[in-house]
Amino acid sequence: NAGVMQNPRHLVRRRGQEARLRCSPVKGHSHVYWYRQLPEEGLKFMVYLQKENIIDESGMPKERFSAEFPKEGPSILRIQQVVRGDSAAYFCASSPSGGYGYTFGSGTRLTVV
């Protein structure tokens, strides 16, 4: 029973490139959440998705960031035209239902050079 799988673990992008972060939830979990953690800080909510639907994207920057959770396959967090300030650890969590039983992945550490 695998936990939340995120890949890649580490991602280096040059300014202006695109970053794609993938998250496979725990089997049977239909709720996915993305969080961002800057160095020395707590996690900040970005977006909450259920299969094929964005439920809450109140934490997503208005531009360059998008997320999806298709019917088949992993959830994708996409950052276009990355800037140095996007460097952070991005964590995905899943739950069987909203509000309880969160399982977090090990994160993707994005470095923009």
Partner 1 sequence: SQQGEEDPQALSIQEGENATMNCSYKTSINNLQWYRQNSGRGLVHLILIRSNEREKHSGRLRVTLDTSKKSSSLLITASRAADTASYFCATDLYGNKLVFGAGTILRVKS
Query: Which residues contact partner 1 (rule: CB under 8 A)?
Result: 33, 35, 41-45, 48, 55-56, 58-59, 91, 93, 97-100, 102-107, 109
Nearest CB to partner 1, comparing residues 17 and 103: 103
The CB-of-111 to partner 1 minimum distance in angstroms stands at 13
Question: Looking at the DSSP assignment, which residues form a beta bridge with residue 87?
Answer: none
Nearest CB to partner 1, comparing residues 38 and 81: 38
C-alpha 30/C-alpha 49 separation (Å) is 8
The CB-of-68 to partner 1 minimum distance in angstroms stands at 17
Nearest CB to partner 1, comparing residues 18 and 52: 52
Q: What is the β-pairing status of strands 31-37 and 43-50?
A: antiparallel
Q: List, in order, residues 6 or more apart from 74 with CB less than 8 Å away.
A: 5, 22, 23, 24, 25
The CB-of-7 to partner 1 minimum distance in angstroms stands at 13
Asked whether 86 and 19 are in contact (CB, 8 A), the reply is yes
The CB-of-33 to partner 1 minimum distance in angstroms stands at 7
C-alpha 99/C-alpha 74 separation (Å) is 21
